């Protein structure tokens, strides 16, 4: 199944990761790709940076 997720925060990351584990094609949208991929430390909720999850 093809799945689109808007947002790379505390909901989008885990949902996207789980869908990928289940074998789905996932596309995740963000407002600012450069900023999202340049983050190197966990966010305020302790989640790893998005670039480490992709």
Q: pTM for the complete prediction?
A: 0.73
pLDDT for residue 1:
95
**Residue 32 burial class via C-beta count within 10 angstroms: exposed 0-12, middle 13-18, buried 19 and up:** exposed
Domain ranges of the chain: 2-53
To the nearest 10°, report the CA torsion of 23, 27, 30, 36: 60
Tens digits of residue pLDDT in 2-53: 999 999 888 888 898 899 999 999 999 999 889 888 988 887 878 888 777 6
Structure tokens at 54: 């992709």
pLDDT for residue 54:
54
């Amino acid at each position: 199944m093809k799945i689109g997720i808007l947002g790379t925060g505390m909901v989008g990351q885990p949902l996207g990761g789980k869908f990928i584990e289940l074998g789905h094609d996932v596309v995740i949208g963000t407002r600012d790709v450069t900023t999202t991929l340049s983050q190197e430390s966990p966010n305020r909720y302790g989640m790893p940076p998005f670039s480490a999850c992709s």
